[in-house]
Amino acid sequence: MVATSARTAPDPTTPPETRGRITPPAVTGYVWGALRLAIGWTFLWAFLDKMFGLGFATCRAEAGSSIDFACSASAIDGGSPTFGFLTFGTAASHAGGMFEWLAPASATSPNATDWLFMAALLGAGMTLMLGIMVRIGGIGAALLLVFMYLAGAVWPENNPFLDDHLIEALALVGVVLAGGGRWLGLGRQWERIGIVQRHPWLR
């Protein structure tokens, strides 16, 4: 007697690039999902704080802990979210004065750099938090982090060359490669949409 084994058809909802592979344990997927949410929240919160002056990096008094919500430094009140960093924080950067020309003329005169920066923060934050378009949002966020690293001081404060910008950028590459939007997010539902199946870069 010859033993036979039944073969089951692949699940049509499984992304093509994962078919035939050993599925990682569910806990691994949830770790990637949690990492995606954590980094996504840092981008989304940075947008909210700079936009509305919530008193963390924006609109907090230098002395003491008082907060002047929606102060003149907030974007909603005409402040520039990039002026301080691009004007003063890039003096000793890895790329010399490469980024200084991007700075607005003053702290109260936002320019295209400010709008692009805020749009990048919001786009990265929303895509990563929702788990949709993670490839675009994740890679875009990683590139933004690398640019911020290059624009920062040559020698990070606590390490000869490595800082949290590069670490988060590498983590985002991992999230993208692991399909981190499928856990703790809307990635699985998003991938079933016709246009997303036809254009995998939208995942």
Side chain identity at 134, as an amino acid letter?
Answer: V
For residues 131 and 197, what is the distance between their CA atoms, to the nearest angstrom? 16
Q: Which long-range contacts (CB under 8 A, 24 or more apart) does 108-113 make?
A: 108/72, 108/78, 108/79, 108/80, 109/80, 110/75, 110/78, 110/79, 110/80, 110/81, 111/80, 113/82, 113/86
Reported as a single tens digit per residue, the pLDDT across 136-173 is 999 999 999 999 888 876 677 788 888 899 999 999 99
Looking at the chain, list the stretches that DSSP marks H as alpha helix, in order from N- to C-terminal side.
26-52, 83-84, 112-130, 134-151, 164-177, 187-191, 194-198
Q: What is the pLDDT of residue 69?
A: 85
pTM of the model: 0.81
User: 78 and 110 in contact (C-beta within 8 Å)?
Assistant: yes
Quote the pLDDT of residue 17.
55
Query: Per-residue pLDDT tens for 101-110?
Result: 787 777 777 7
At 54 the pLDDT is: 92
**CA nearest 39: which of 109, 136, 108, 138?**
138
The residues of the chain scoring below 50 in pLDDT are 1-8
- Nearest-angstrom CA–CA distance, 108 and 134: 33
Closest to 82 in 3D by CA, of 108, 63, 61? 108
Token pair of 185 as six digits: 């997010």
Q: Which residues pair with 153 in a beta bridge?
A: 93
Report the alpha-carbon distance of residue 51 to residue 72 in Å, rounded.
11
